[in-house]
Amino acid sequence: MAIDPTRLPRTETTIRDADWALDDLSGQTHERTAFTGVDLTEATSTGAAFADCVFTQCRFNAGAHLRTAMVNCVFVGCSFFEVRLEECKLVGSVFDDCSFGLVSVTGGDWSFVSLAGADLQKAQITGVRMREADLSGVRAARATITGVDLGGASLHRADFTGADLRGSDLDSLDPLTATLKGAVIDTAQAVQIAGALGLSVR
């Protein structure tokens, strides 16, 4: 996915090649800031706030963030290997060409987020609100996506091979365009998918 430059937030401040590894960002606030090449490896935060920011080639690896907001932000070519995000708010944010190896997301609001085409294999996503998120073409083989509110989400051509989807809202899932081989679902979801295929469960 290539982001239309005209849709990028208009930034007013630039932070380039900063070393924030191991830093505690708790309570920090950044708005309309461009972060380029910033190293946030093992950085932590509680209650930090980022709004209308652009992160390019930044490293968030092994970080842990609690109740941090990154609203209407854009992430381009960033790395989120083994990041833990708990009760974070990322409403309206866009991820382009980012890596998410072993990322763990628990709770929080990711509504209207764009993760189109993202590689979320083996990701752990639990209890997250992702209403109307764009997950088209997402590669989530062997991921855990449980108790997630996916109401109105775009799941076209999503690959959930071997994924655990129990308890997630699959109303918008088209089983004819998604890959579901070996996926684990619950009884209610099975009835839902059967209905989407035009089957009658008795």
Q: Mean pLDDT for the chain?
A: 95
141-158 confidence digits (pLDDT tens): 999 999 999 999 999 999
User: Do 92 and 30 lie in a common domain?
Assistant: yes
What DSSP character marks residue 11?
A: -
- Split at pLDDT 50, 70, 90, the class of 1 is low
pLDDT attached to residue 159: 98
Q: What is the CATH number of the domain that holds 48?
A: 2.160.20
The whole-number average pLDDT for the span 114-120 is 97
Contact predicate 135/159, CB 8 Å: no
Provide mean pLDDT across the span 73-77: 97
Closest Cα to residue 28, out of 52, 43, 47? 47
- Average pLDDT on 50-66 reads 98
- Is residue 53 domain-shared with residue 78, that is, in the same domain? yes
Domain boundaries, position 35: 8-99
**Residue 108, token pair as written in the block:** 């929080």
- Whose tokens are 């630039």? That residue is 14
Q: pLDDT tens digit string along 169-196?
A: 999 999 999 999 999 999 999 998 998 8
pTM: 0.93
Residues 59 and 35 in one domain: yes
- In a domain? residue 127: yes
Percentage of the residues of the chain whose pLDDT score is greater than 90: 90
Claim to verify: residue 61 and residue 89 sit in the same structural domain: yes
The two three-digit tokens of residue 103, written as one number: 């990322």
DSSP 122: T
